[in-house]
């Protein structure tokens, strides 16, 4: 009986010490009180949220920072946005890359570069049906698009198991490439 009581006391003491350590660590890592400048409302636009997420994802990467600064300085530069999306994708931040591409396509719906970046990023996150739909929609409004668009459509359809639909896209791509 005494051994059980001793064991119960030791277990209670261990639980109490773990709880105290946890509370001490939590109080040490608690955020300091916010000052007046910090209490301003966070940015509300999609671009501001996307930049904040991108900064968090690539924090400390000077190349990414330089690319983000270029996009901020030249908001109409499609190539800079595509380059930024590609850079995030290459570093494994596929969701951030996808959001950059989505915003680029929304801002520049006529841009083939932005469209292909979106298709690549959708494929990277395994959203092939969405990539196919996006590319088909683009090709309906741009039927004279370059052969690479049809090539991507064929590849996506093949990877999705839609072989009967992939073949015509590949044939169209081959016909355009030799013209």
What residue ranges do the domains of the chain occupy? 45-111, 127-179
User: Do 38 and 31 meet the contact criterion of CB atoms below 8 Å apart?
Assistant: no
Residue ranges for the chain with pLDDT beneath 70 = 1-43, 47, 50-51, 53-59, 168, 170-171, 176-179
- pLDDT (tens digit per residue) in 45-78: 776 776 676 666 656 788 999 999 999 999 999 9
Residues 93-115 as b/e (b if ≥16 CB within 10 A, e otherwise) read bbebbbbbbbbbbeebeebeebb
- Fold classified for 45-111: 1.25.40
- pLDDT (tens digit per residue) in 4-13: 544 445 444 4
Q: Which residues contact 70 (CB under 8 A, 6 or more apart)?
A: 77, 80, 84
> Whole-prediction pTM value?
0.64
């Amino acid at each position: 009986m005494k051994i059980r009581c001793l064991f119960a006391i030791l277990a209670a003491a261990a639980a109490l010490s773990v709880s105290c350590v946890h509370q001490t660590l939590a109080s040490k890592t608690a955020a300091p009180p916010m000052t007046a400048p910090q209490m301003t409302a966070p940015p509300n636009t999609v671009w501001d949220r996307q930049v904040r997420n991108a900064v968090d994802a690539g924090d400390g990467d000077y190349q990414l920072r330089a690319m983000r600064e270029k996009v901020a300085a030249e908001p109409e530069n499609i190539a800079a946005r595509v380059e930024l999306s590609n850079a995030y994708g290459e570093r494994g931040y596929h969701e951030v890359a996808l959001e950059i591409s989505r915003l680029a396509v929304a801002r520049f719906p006529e841009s083939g570069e932005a469209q292909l970046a979106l298709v690549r990023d959708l494929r990277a996150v395994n959203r092939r049906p969405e990539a196919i739909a996006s590319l088909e929609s683009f090709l309906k409004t741009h039927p004279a698009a370059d052969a690479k668009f049809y090539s991507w459509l064929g590849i996506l359809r093949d990877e999705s198991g839609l072989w009967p639909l992939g073949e015509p896209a590949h044939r169209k791509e081959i016909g355009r490439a030799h013209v």
